Chains A and B, each alone.
Chain A
Amino acid sequence: MVPVAESAVVGPRPADPMRPLRYRVEQVRRETHDTFSLRMSPVDGWSIGSFAPGQFNMLYAFGTGEAAISISADPGNPARLWHTIRRAGIVTHALGRLQRGDMLGVRGPFGSAWPVAAAVRHDVLLIAGGIGLAPLRPALYHILAARKEYRNVSLLYGARTPDDILFRRELGEWRARLDLHVGVTVDHAPTSWRGDVGVVTTLIPRAPFDPANTMALTCGPELMMRFAAEELADCGVPRERIYLSMERNMKCAVGFCGHCQYGPTFICKDGPVFRYDHIHHLLVTREI
C-alpha cells in the first residue's frame, strides 16, 4: 500500500459522500483564452471546511456532470474558495458558462496534500507546467505565509505560449519578492516575448537549491513531471523528496468507482500527491 503523502483536516462530511453541497459563484475571472477561475461560497450551512494544499473538489455542473478540479485557493483563507479550470470537456465547458450568482455542486475536499510541513528547513522547488500551476499555488501561498521556516524557495513555471500564462498579476508580485526565485518559460513564443523559451526543466539549473537538502513539488502533464523528476534526481535530489501530482479518470472521488486506480493506488485516496520513489515503477510502465 502506498502511504498517503500528507493527510488534511476535513470539514463536516455529509452522510452520503456522493451528494454535493450547494455553492454559489461569487466571482468569475478569465485567466487565459481557455482557462478561468471561480470563487464560490456555500449556500447552505455546510461547507467543505478547510483544505490542504494539493487537494481537490468534485465540481458539479447541473445536469452535465462532475469534474475533479484542484483547489487553487489560499489554504490559510479557505472561505475564499477558488478553483482554476481549463475548458477541456463538456463539464468544464459547462462550468465555464457559470456566472456570478449561479449555483453549482461541490464535494470534497479529497486526496493527499503537498508536504509543506515536511518541507520546512529545506530548499523548496515548485515546478509547474501549464494548468499545473493552479494546484501548486496553494502550496506557494502556505510557504510564503510562513516564509522564514523555509530556506531558498523557487517557483519554476512553464506554459505553452505567453498567452497561456496564468496568474500574471500574481506572478509579477512574486517576481518582485526578494525571497522568492521565479522562473517563467514558454514552449513557443512570438518575437514580442522577451522571456525564456524552452521547457520548464531548462529552468532547473538556474534555481538556487542544494540538491541534498531540497524538497521538490511538481505538477503538470505527466510527461513533464517525469522529465522534471528525472532531472532533479540526476541533480542529486533524493527521490523520496520529490513529489508529483498524478491524474486519472475520476468518477466518484471516494474510492468506490474504481476508475482512478493507478497500480494498486487510488488517485482519489492515496493521491493525487505521490512521492516519486513510491510511484517510479508505475511511471515507467506503459498503460498502467
Chain B
Amino acid sequence: MADKPDTVGQSRVLQPARLGDLLESLRTRGYELVGPTVRDGAIIYDTISGPADLPVGWTDEHGAGNYRLRRRDDEALFGYTVGPHSWKKFLFPPAALLWRASRDADGITIADDDDDVPRFAFIGVRPCELAAISILDRVLLQGEYTDPNYATRRRQAFIVAVNCAQPGGTCFCSSMNTGPEATGGFDLCLTEVIGSDAHYLLAKAGTEAGETVLADLPVRTATEEEMAAAAAVCADAAAHMGRTVDTTAIRDLLYRNAENARWNETATRCLACANCTMVCPTCFCSTVEDTTDLAGTHAERRRVWDSCFTADFSYLHGGSIRRSVRARYRQWLTHKLAAWQDQFGVSGCVGCGRCITWCPAGIDITEEIEAIRARDIGAPPVADSKETVHGDA
C-alpha cells in the first residue's frame, strides 16, 4: 500500500556486475549498508560491505513451518523472497535505550540517550516490506505521539527496493494489495531481469535523493523491450502467488466471530511461541524495562520487543486478561486483520507469509481466515439451503 511517488524516474539499466558501484556510492555518502546475506541456513538482513555479501545464486523455499535455502542454477542477486528478518529490526530495534537516570542526595537526574542514530541504506526491500514500513509510519509517526528514535532512523534511511520475480510458497501480497511490484515509498527501485540470454537490473528513482544517486552510476536509458521484460517479471509473479486470501469485509467478519469454534481448534496447535510476531514486519508491540545498577544510583529505561502471545502481556491485578492461548491467538489475528483498520486506517497484514513459514506448528493465517469465513457465526442464513451455516458456540 505505498503511496504514488511524486517523481517517477526514467527507467535505466544497470549491469549486475556494477551493483557494487551503487553500494559504494551509498557508502561514501555516509550510509551504513544493510542488506540480505546468507547465514546459518537463512537469508537474513545485516550489515553488508559489498555485492559479494549478497545471496547470489540462492533462492528460498517456503511452506507452512518450512524454510530451506536452495542453490539456483543462475547467478541472480535477488532470487529469493524474504527471510526471517524484516526492516523493523533496524527502524525499530529489538532493544533500544530510551534514557538514563541517576539518583543522589538531591534527587533524580534524567538524561537523554544521545548516541548517534545510524543512517541506513536498505538494500533489497521487497514491495510487501515497503508497505510494512509505511504501516509502521502510521503507527509510530502519524498518531498523536511520535517515536523520536523511529522518526530519525526513518528519515535518514535510503531505500533501495527490489521487485519480486518469484513469489514464495507462503506469499499472498496480491491478496493484500502490497505487491509484487513496488509503486512508491522507495528512493530507488530495481527489477532484476534474468534469463538464458540476459541479466540486467532495471532501475528507477522514486525520490530526488534516488535520482541523485542514480545519476552517478554507470547506467544507460532502458529500451522499450527491457522495460517490457521487467514489467513481465512482476506480472508473472502476481500470477503465481503461493497463497491467496479473501479479504472481503474481513474486519466485520473477524469482529463478529469472537466466539467461533475455530479459535479452539487453532489453540490446540498454537504454541504461543511468538515467532509470528517476531518475524512479522508490522508487529510493533513492545515493553518497557526499567533497571538499575546494584547500588541503585543509576537507572536505565529500555524499550524491548514484546508479543501479545506471552502469558503476562495482558497482566492486570494478579492475573492475565488473556490467559488462554485461544484468546491470545484470537487477539493477534483479529488485531492484525481487523482492529488495525480501525486503529490505523489500513490492514496490518502485508501478505509476506513469514508468519506461516516460521510457525513451528505450521499455522497458516490464510487458512484460518478461510475456516472462519466458512463457518461464520454471524452470517445470515442462506435462503435456499436446508441447513444454516453457523459456527459452534
Contact = CB atoms under 8 A, between A and B. Distances in A.
Direct interface between A and B, CB < 8 A: yes
Interface of A: 1-2, 15-20, 22, 24, 43, 60, 62-66, 88, 102-105, 247-249, 251-252, 254-259, 261, 263-264, 266, 269, 285-288
Contacts of B117: none
Given A19-B110, A65-B290, 4 more contacts: A62-B292, A63-B291, A249-B314, A259-B285
A252 B288 contact: yes
A269 B291 contact: no
A60 to B, nearest CB: 8
Interface of B is mostly: mixed
B140 A261 contact: no
B286 A252 contact: yes
A18 to B, nearest CB: 5
Given A256-B286, A288-B327, A264 B339 contact: yes
A187 to B, nearest CB: 17
Contact of B303 (A18, A60, A65, A103): A18
Interface stretch (B96-104, B121-129, B383-391): B96-104
Closest 5 A-B residue pairs measured CB to CB?
Answer: A63-B292, A287-B327, A258-B285, A103-B107, A264-B339
A24 B108 CA distance: 10
Contacts of B299: 62-63
A171 to B, nearest CB: 25
Contacts of A20: 110
A66 B103 contact: no
A261 B339 contact: yes
Contacts of A264: 335, 338-339, 342-343
Interface residues of B, number: 49
A258 B308 contact: yes
Nearest to B111: A19
Contacts of B148: 15-16
A69 B112 CA distance: 24
A261 B143 CA distance: 15
Nearest to B146: A17
B221 interface: no
B139 A19 contact: no
B317 interface: yes
Nearest to A247: B316
B258 interface: yes
Contact of B98 (A18, A63, A247, A263): A18
B333 to A, nearest CB: 13
B327 A257 contact: no
Nearest to A18: B98
Contacts of B144: 254-255, 269
Contacts of A251: 286-288, 306
A261 B301 CA distance: 22
Interface stretch (B158-166, B182-190, B239-247, B318-326): B318-326
A1 B343 contact: yes
B147 interface: yes
A60 B289 CA distance: 12
A287 B322 contact: yes
B286 A62 contact: no
A265 to B, nearest CB: 8
Contacts of B322: 287-288
Contacts of A285: 258-259
Given A63-B292, A263-B339, A102 B140 contact: no
A5 to B, nearest CB: 15
